[in-house]
Copies of this chain bind each other. A is one copy, B any other.
Amino acid sequence: MAHSKPDSDRIVFSVPGKQDQDWSAYVEDFRHSAHEAVDWIASYLADTRQYPVLPDRKPGALIDALPAQAPEHGEPFDAMLRDFQQQIIPAVTHWNHPGFLAYFGTTGSTPAILGEMLSAALNTNGLHWDTSPAVAELEHVALAWLRQWIGLPEEFFGIIYDTASTSSMHALIAAREMIAPEARQEGSSPNFTVYTSEQSHSSIEKGAIAIGLGHRNVRKIGTDSAFCMRADLLEEAIRRDLDAGKRPLCVVATFGTTSTTSIDPLAEIASIAETFDMWMHVDAAYGGAAAILPEYHQQFAAASRAHSVVVNAHKWLLTPIDCSAFYTRRPDVLRRALSLVPEYLRSSEDPRAIHLMDYGVPLGHRFRSLKLWFVLRYFGRDGVERILRSHIALARQFAAWIDGDSAWERVAPVPFSVVCFRFKGSDADNEEILNRVNAGGKVFLSHTKLNGRYVLRMAIGNLGTGLRDIEQAWHILKEAAAEID
């Protein structure tokens, strides 16, 4: 077989459903089905409200409905697309639905979908610069654009990780490297401590556990009546730990906490971090998008004094998961913590060559910046600003309805687009209301606990969400309350 004339267009498998075994049949099979998929996506986006937001499924139902074994022989695209619609879709929670008002509302916007299509087709992987200059450099460009919008100075280096959990874990790793550089060689010490508020996201604790700091070394600082971290208690806790011989590494402040979207006092916390020479990380996974708006600039300004900041484009910035933008003004420390270059990954030493693998645990690096670049270009700054402001206005409108109805109460300020509220009844009443509302399929809300009480949350962040969705939610909530009364 050596040096035989290659049969250049032959493929070693048959195109499913056909007997064709050439490359062009493989490509044309895709072209045909991908056009169909585009039309399906367009009709899905055109009327997502036709689907219940939450699926009416029992755990295990989809597993039971699908074959227990993979097929021996290839199956045609038609069968896959049919099963996608008939089996998968009824088990999907529709995050792209205008009635999705749970957790944080998000959007898989059209330019981002286009970006993901192209990124999957290229399958280019930015381990280091040479393995894909486009991945390294477009990530730099798109993150620089976003950085300017949210007002962080140029010294902040940006990298995209999958989630805010991963971003915050990297912040903690960098914090340890800055304060205790011996840990990279020697291992962590049970003596290190980390500070964050009682209202901060669970990923801070999880990150601390994962990197070996220990759950008991995470100090959850108390908050004020508006659920914002109390700087005085933070300072007290740090002093107490220093007196006990502990080594404070990092304080994590939140710009938009998960339950109420409260804003920690960034400037005061930055001063404390500076006084005690600690790393400061700002979790702006949700709220960071609002920092684009001039009306939030002042509140976000002290984020520039932090060592790292995370903003999730896949939360309130129109980008489908995953796209977590992590910024640090100490990339040298992050790199010192995590860079390892084996011979098989040795590459360009040009100082302008960005090697993303040096700044994180994952070696492979997906071309996520393409979708973000498309989003920023398609909507432009004014489009993004209008969308964010419309969500904030809708939240304020809903808050006004709650405030104006004596059967309901609002339980937290509304700094962004999330409203925390409750029916003036028992916790069980509120849980029952939530279950009834969500079972209807028109809207999906989630809950939290504040001051020990069960609280409902409405989170607005989907591009399609309009006044009619909020009105409908309010109507359904009142109906459910009337039914249980």
Contact = CB atoms under 8 A, between A and B. Distances in A.
B33 A114 contact: yes
A270 B70 CA distance: 29
B165 A468 contact: no
A211 B212 contact: yes
A interface secondary structure, majority: helix
Given A145-B69, A183-B212, A380-B75, A62 B361 contact: no
Nearest to A204: B340
A344 B88 contact: no
What is the count of identical protomers in the complex? 2
Contacts of A74: 377-380, 382-383
B471 A3 contact: yes
Contact of A206 (B113, B258, B340): B340
B214 A187 contact: yes
A66 to B, nearest CB: 5
A16 B121 contact: no
A158 interface: no
Interface residues of A, number: 186
A24 B6 contact: no
A124 B93 contact: yes
A140 B63 contact: yes
Nearest to A468: B6
B30 A113 contact: yes
Interface string A410-450: 00000000000000000000000000000000000011110
B383 A13 contact: yes
Given A62-B134, A117-B120, A322-B364, 11 more contacts: A3-B471, A27-B42, A29-B110, A37-B114, A74-B377, A75-B378, A77-B111, A95-B124, A108-B123, A187-B190, A202-B345
16 contacts: A2-B397, A2-B400, A12-B386, A34-B113, A37-B118, A61-B133, A71-B377, A77-B378, A80-B374, A91-B134, A96-B124, A113-B117, A162-B162, A187-B190, A343-B448, A344-B457
